[in-house]
Structure 1
Amino acid sequence: MKLYTLLAILLFSTALLSAQMQATGNNSETETKYTTHPTQDPVFLYSNLSAGVISVSPINPPAVPTYVWYTNTNGVWKEEYSNNSPVYNQDIEEGGYKVEILEGGETGTITETHHCWVFVPVIESVDIDSTSTSCEYVRMKTDIVSKNLTYYDITTSAAINLEYEYTYNWTITPNDDFENVDEPNPALPAPVEKTSYALNLEAFNFYTLNSNTIEIEEIAVKAEYKATVSERDYENEISSSDSYSAPVLVNFEDISKGSIDDREWVYYNTQIEGPEGEIGADYDILKPNYVFSEAGTYNARLSILNRTTGCTDTYSGTEIKVIEMSIEVPNAFTPNDDGTHDIFLVQYKSIEKFRMVILNRWGRKVYETNNPGEGWNGKIKGRKASEGVYFYYITAEGFNKDEKKKLEGAIHLIR
């Protein structure tokens, strides 16, 4: 808690030339602010009156001034003393202060009159409670009791209570992402687990008091999941951070918060609106898996329910893009065991069926595979093949309907 030894607040909309009363203390962090005040008198707020000093700065100081000081208690002005010092030389207490500046001694002419008020604000109690709850929020209520700060209108002697300026600092535990709402009766996030609510109340930016703490059992649910794409070990399969070669196996894990009785997973094509875009579903599974095969952009929607409170929530994660079939074939390789281009491999995306045959120049088969992740190492029956030109024949099918390719061409084996 940060307490200023003195906080001086001049309550008026602009700095008036006639407002020449000053209050100081032994703390260099004294602040001055201007707000609306009916009597246009400065009001000084202290946290420690023993350190306070009140003085006046005349607008047009007489050559030999006399200062007559008065105090005000319960609306009645009482003369305290007079001398030639602009500083009030007695202990400061709460109430009003007036100084008359005379020219020509104590019986001289009054040239200026200034007033001010001094208070020590105190928050005596602050209590909070909840008034209503829903799946989205808890409505809070704040009851504050503070010491009256009463001053009196100079012209009418009417009593006026100075309004406190409060700052409301709410705390929700646990809730790391809560953003404070500076209000006395806010709607705060409903709890997804047993949660404590408390308030730190601040008056005039220097006097603070903590409220009671209330605990509320879980009400809401918050849906969320993690999605992990299973990796494959084929270096020649083309994928990126935002797109994948089919088939894409995604492992989902429900990390929702709250008491969950029912959960539903719906897998859908984001490019097709409505139920027509839904391609699969799972129910009451904490860690489902799903395979996305056809080219397209997909997502999963998790819906959860707390039957006791009736609260629901849904969550969709990052989109998963499955790319169309493609094959890129190199025209040469160098199987010399230097770690670079030692194997003849195609670069591919989203292949469901694959066959590659490699022939020598006499049409004799030297290599065959049905796995696009495998390639020819440049050997025939375990022996190094001779340098020269070879020929490949490739047939492939993708996961989409009628997605087929036939490729053929020459390969240069270079040692």
Structure 2
Amino acid sequence: MTVTSGQLLLESSTPYMKAENTAVPADSIYLVNQVAGLTVRTSLQGSYIYEWLGFNNNSDSWDIPLAYGTINTYTPSIEGGILLNIRDINSDQIISSYRCWIFVPQILGASVSIEESTCQYLTFVGTAQTRNLVYYDLDGNSHIVVYPLTYSISSSQGIEGESKDEFVSIEAPFSDDEYTLTVALPALGKSASSEPVAHTAFAVRAMIGHEVIKPEVPNEGHMGIVSGSAPLEIRFTDNSKGVVTNQEWRLGSISSREKDPFHVFTTAGRDTVRLFVENFETGCMDEAELEILIMDLALEAPNAFTPNGDGVNDQFRVYYRSVRKFKMQIVSRWGRTVYESDNPAEGWDGSIGNGDAPPGVYYYFVEAEGYNPGEKIKLQGPVHLIREK
């Protein structure tokens, strides 16, 4: 792995990462698991003298000779600062200088506390105990390396949130739990975890469950689980999370404080069900809504059916939605009534009495009323009864 910084390259067979140098941005700070196996070199090629020097913490100066000659690489044996002076091979004058710092970081421990707890968020503040890594600027002033740590909060549910700084916020929980902070240098595989901190939940989250009580009927038109034809009977359930002390349902113009109310929708159009929940002691509130679609009266009839017992189009049935009253009559070409029904879910199977009706053309007459005032449909027309020869 090779990272380029200015004219210096760091090569290593093991992972490493960079920390920000706020004092001298041009001087790279490398964090490694171990110094052994590192090679520092310059990308500059040519006939130069390469003078490698180390930083002396006692004298606060670059006065430790490391290597001198025409080799543009250096293999460090200890951590610290490295200075490369590139000199003219004839005059020995310094042409360029480059610096970097190499450190082995250590995460010694971690602690966590709850910074803020609201109805929406739970915020933690973490502290990492790390080994101090000291570097110096061009004037000899010392600075402490800021570790590029990641902070993560976990509970019995797993990792809840992550951050690049010491503040970690998660969605307000709805049940009591204990939370642990982990600080890490992921690229180096280094981490430490705190002792858990307990939190008593007080937030609430409104959640609506529903079950369509009215069974599915063959040939009834639908557009989804919360849509259908009138009357649409639905049992609602309060699946809210948290400590809910009060709840209220708004079912159209009707209010209810039942936990799991039942409601019948008969008016065509869109309606919205709302659930309001509250934890009275903490003042946390939330609401949820669910849209209900009741479709207008609709009626359609096929022009043929094949009662051969294959399970496909074996009966003459109308397609319908939101039917309150229904009447269907089927007659032969001579006007004889062969079938009558007041149930739109039923159909003619092509029989007359105990026998099969002969193939040919029959005529249907259908009347239906919907749930809206004055909503009526009449259909009539021929239907072909087809039998295989």
Fold in common (TM above 0.5): yes
On the 8 A contact 2:54/2:80 being kept in 1, the answer is: no
On the 8 A contact 1:245/1:322 being kept in 2, the answer is: yes
1:397 to 369, 373, 385: 369
Instruction: Please name the residue that 2:79 is paired with.
Output: 94
On the 8 A contact 1:73/1:96 being kept in 2, the answer is: no
On the 8 A contact 1:8/1:32 being kept in 2, the answer is: no
On the 8 A contact 2:115/2:125 being kept in 1, the answer is: yes
For 1:113-124, list aligned pairs within 5 A.
115-124=99-108
For 1:13-52, list aligned pairs within 5 A.
15=6, 19-20=7-8, 23-27=10-14, 29-30=15-16, 37-38=23-24, 40-52=26-38
Instruction: Please name the residue that 1:192 is paired with.
Output: 174
The verdict on how the C-alpha distance between 1:59 and 1:407 changes in structure 2, with shifts beyond 3 A counting, is closer
1:121-141, Cα deviation, whole Å (9 max, x unpaired) = 223332211122111112222
The verdict on how the C-alpha distance between 1:147 and 1:295 changes in structure 2, with shifts beyond 3 A counting, is same
1:238 to 212, 221, 226: 221
Counterpart CA distance in 1 for 2:52 and 2:169 is 54
1:310-343, Cα deviation, whole Å (9 max, x unpaired) = 21211123x3322111222345545555655543
1:324 aligns with 2:296: yes
1:292 aligns with 2:276: no
Counterpart CA distance in 1 for 2:105 and 2:276 is 51
The verdict on how the C-alpha distance between 1:189 and 1:332 changes in structure 2, with shifts beyond 3 A counting, is closer
The amino acid that maps onto 2:272 is N
2:286 to 310, 313, 316: 313
Q: Secondary structure at the match of 2:324?
A: strand
Two-structure CA RMSD over aligned residues (Å): 3.8
The amino acid that maps onto 1:135 is C
Q: How far is 1:81 from its partner?
A: 6.7
On the 8 A contact 1:174/1:196 being kept in 2, the answer is: no
1:204-243, Cα deviation, whole Å (9 max, x unpaired) = 8434332332221222111212333346353232334374
On the 8 A contact 2:16/2:30 being kept in 1, the answer is: no
1:209 aligns with 2:183: no
The verdict on how the C-alpha distance between 1:211 and 1:9 changes in structure 2, with shifts beyond 3 A counting, is farther
1:301 aligns with 2:305: no
The verdict on how the C-alpha distance between 1:118 and 1:204 changes in structure 2, with shifts beyond 3 A counting, is farther
1:375 aligns with 2:347: yes
Counterpart CA distance in 2 for 1:131 and 1:34 is 27
Moved more, 31-40 or 242-251: 31-40
The amino acid that maps onto 1:263 is Q
On the 8 A contact 1:24/1:30 being kept in 2, the answer is: no
On the 8 A contact 1:7/1:31 being kept in 2, the answer is: no
Instruction: Please name the residue that 1:158 is paired with.
Output: 141
Counterpart CA distance in 2 for 1:81 and 1:410 is 104
The amino acid that maps onto 1:196 is E
On the 8 A contact 1:222/1:258 being kept in 2, the answer is: yes
1:357-395, Cα deviation, whole Å (9 max, x unpaired) = 344566554433221122333444434445565544433
For 1:143-182, list aligned pairs within 5 A.
143-154=127-138, 156-174=139-157, 178=160, 180-182=162-164
Q: Secondary structure at the match of 1:322?
A: strand
Counterpart CA distance in 2 for 1:330 and 1:68 is 93
Q: 1 or 2, which has the higher strand percentage?
A: 2
Please report the TM-score for the alignment, with normalisation by the length of structure 2.
0.80
Counterpart CA distance in 1 for 2:268 and 2:82 is 83
Instruction: Please name the residue that 1:347 is paired with.
Output: 319
1:48-104, Cα deviation, whole Å (9 max, x unpaired) = 134445566776644xx5857454123145445766474898973333344666778
The verdict on how the C-alpha distance between 1:80 and 1:394 changes in structure 2, with shifts beyond 3 A counting, is closer
Moved more, 217-226 or 391-400: 391-400
Instruction: Please name the residue that 2:328 is paired with.
Output: 356
The amino acid that maps onto 1:222 is R
> Percent of pairs identical after alignment?
30
For 1:257-272, list aligned pairs within 5 A.
257-268=241-252
Q: Secondary structure at the match of 1:377?
A: coil
The verdict on how the C-alpha distance between 1:51 and 1:383 changes in structure 2, with shifts beyond 3 A counting, is closer
The verdict on how the C-alpha distance between 1:257 and 1:339 changes in structure 2, with shifts beyond 3 A counting, is closer
Counterpart CA distance in 2 for 1:211 and 1:37 is 31
Counterpart CA distance in 1 for 2:152 and 2:351 is 75
1:259-313, Cα deviation, whole Å (9 max, x unpaired) = 2222222223xxxxxxxxx3x3432324x33222221122321222223322121
Counterpart CA distance in 2 for 1:96 and 1:366 is 102
The verdict on how the C-alpha distance between 1:336 and 1:149 changes in structure 2, with shifts beyond 3 A counting, is closer
1:229 aligns with 2:212: yes
On the 8 A contact 1:56/1:86 being kept in 2, the answer is: no
On the 8 A contact 1:66/1:104 being kept in 2, the answer is: no
Aligned residues: 383
